Amino acid sequence: MTTFQFVLEVDGIEMASFRKCSGVESETETIEYKEATKEGKMIIRKVPGAMKWSDITLERRIDESTALWEWRKQVEDGDVDSARRNGSIVIKDSMKAEVGRWDFDRGWVSKWTGAELDAGSNEIATEKVVITHEGLRRSK
């Protein structure tokens, strides 16, 4: 597959499609501690610690939709609890069939970046959002 579409679903509703998506990752912190063997040799043991997830960054062409801006505005207005939503990053192939899905928990828009406006440029105006969340799992 060479052609993909990345879609953001929030509370089961398709909110927007994107041209770039990054930060779909999880990590387990590593805790190190020293321990002496029976022979008295010092070794370092490594055990899993807390789980943490990267923020998801999405970039798309600006259009008439203000849904992402309104979601961000909830946070700016101090209504973070209402802004927290469950969602998914969905990958679709060129026939719009779903080929992958990552679900996130209690996400909210922590950053919105508008386009660099330059009348002499041939660049497409884009917006970028960063979604901070509390968990990520692959469901397809």
Instruction: Give buried/exposed letters for 3-40 (b at 16+ CB in 10 A, else e).
Output: eeebbbbbeeeebbebeebebbeeeeeeeeeeeeeeee
Q: What is the pLDDT of residue 43?
A: 95
Widest CA span in the chain:
73
- Asked if 33 and 44 count as a contact pair (C-beta separation under 8 A), the reply is yes
Q: What is the distance between the alpha carbons of residues 10 and 56, in angstroms, rounded to a whole number? A: 13
Whole-prediction pTM: 0.86
pLDDT tens column, 84-138: 999 999 999 888 899 999 999 999 999 999 888 888 888 888 999 999 999 999 9
Domain 5-27+53-138, what fold? Pnp Oxidase; Chain A (2.30.110)
Q: Structural domain boundaries of the chain?
A: 5-27+53-138
